């Protein structure tokens, strides 16, 4: 089985690329989804996060207040690393289990979408890595509707490798400046190279 890693900068189109790959019939695991699942009420990761960051990061319903936690960790690198130490090993364990399940059922390929693929040193797990990228201007336009200030966008970017570094380390790059049809066409051409017998 070919295991494909999908990465890129924040707001640059990884989720759209993942949807296109799924439509092509490939199973996809998204670490953002895994990260949300493992901090649901009652999960051990949430207990650890509360212990590390205090009760104010929980809402009255016991759920994690993700925006509040994000403001804390993206303003303090030591706290961000503390959170990553809680989350990343659990996330990696889950997507590796998912990949093993695909392999066991004979899937020819599978995709794992990981924003911090290179930063978490996961690259050796993958046969091919696709990086989705765009210009800083386009990234800002796409992220502003989330209500993020330019300073918040910059803090998020500083918590990752520069996009140029990710592009250089990847096997393939989707340059996501055009419309959805252009994005989909790039994905199809890359898939034809990775899986020529599809």
Element of type H or E holding 101: helix 77-104
Residue in this structure with the two tokens 């296109």, named with its chain if needed: 20
Helix axes 44-53, 77-104, angle to 10 degrees: 170
Instruction: Check residue 197 and give its pLDDT.
Output: 82
Domains and CATH numbers, the chain: 2-194 (3.40.50.300)
What 41-45 contacts at long range (C-beta under 8 Å, 24+ apart), as own/partner pairs, is 45/86, 45/87, 45/90
Instruction: Check residue 198 and give its pLDDT.
Output: 72
Is 30 in a helix, a strand, or coil?
strand
Residue 196 is classified by DSSP as T
Instruction: Check residue 58 and give its pLDDT.
Output: 96
Give pLDDT < 70 ranges for the chain: none
Q: Are strands 109-113 and 28-30 parallel, antiparallel or unpaired?
A: parallel
The C-alpha angle with vertex 116 and arms to 98 and 138, in degrees rounded to 5, equals: 120
Instruction: Check residue 21 and give its pLDDT.
Output: 97
152-192 residue pLDDT tens: 899 999 999 999 999 999 999 999 998 999 999 999 999 99
Q: What is the pTM of this model?
A: 0.93
Instruction: Check residue 44 and give its pLDDT.
Output: 97
């Amino acid at each position: 089985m070919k295991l494909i890693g999908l990465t890129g900068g924040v707001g640059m189109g990884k989720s759209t690329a993942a949807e296109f790959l799924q439509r092509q019939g490939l199973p996809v695991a998204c670490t953002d989804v895994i990260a949300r699942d493992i901090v649901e009420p009652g999960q051990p990761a949430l207990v650890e996060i509360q212990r590390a960051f205090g009760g104010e990061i929980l809402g009255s319903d016991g759920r994690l207040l993700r925006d509040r936690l994000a403001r804390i960790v993206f303003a303090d690198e030591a706290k961000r690393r503390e959170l990553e130490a809680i989350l990343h090993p659990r996330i990696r364990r889950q997507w590796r289990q998912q990949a093993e399940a695909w392999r066991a059922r004979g899937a020819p390929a599978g995709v794992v979408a990981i924003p911090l693929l290179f930063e978490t040193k996961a690259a050796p797990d993958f046969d091919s890595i696709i990086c989705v990228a765009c210009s800083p201007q386009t990234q800002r336009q796409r992220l502003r509707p989330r209500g993020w200030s330019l300073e918040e966008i910059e803090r998020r970017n500083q918590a990752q490798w520069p996009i140029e570094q990710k592009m250089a380390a990847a096997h393939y790059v989707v340059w996501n400046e055009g419309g959805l049809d252009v994005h989909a066409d790039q994905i199809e051409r890359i898939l034809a190279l990775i899986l020529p017998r599809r």
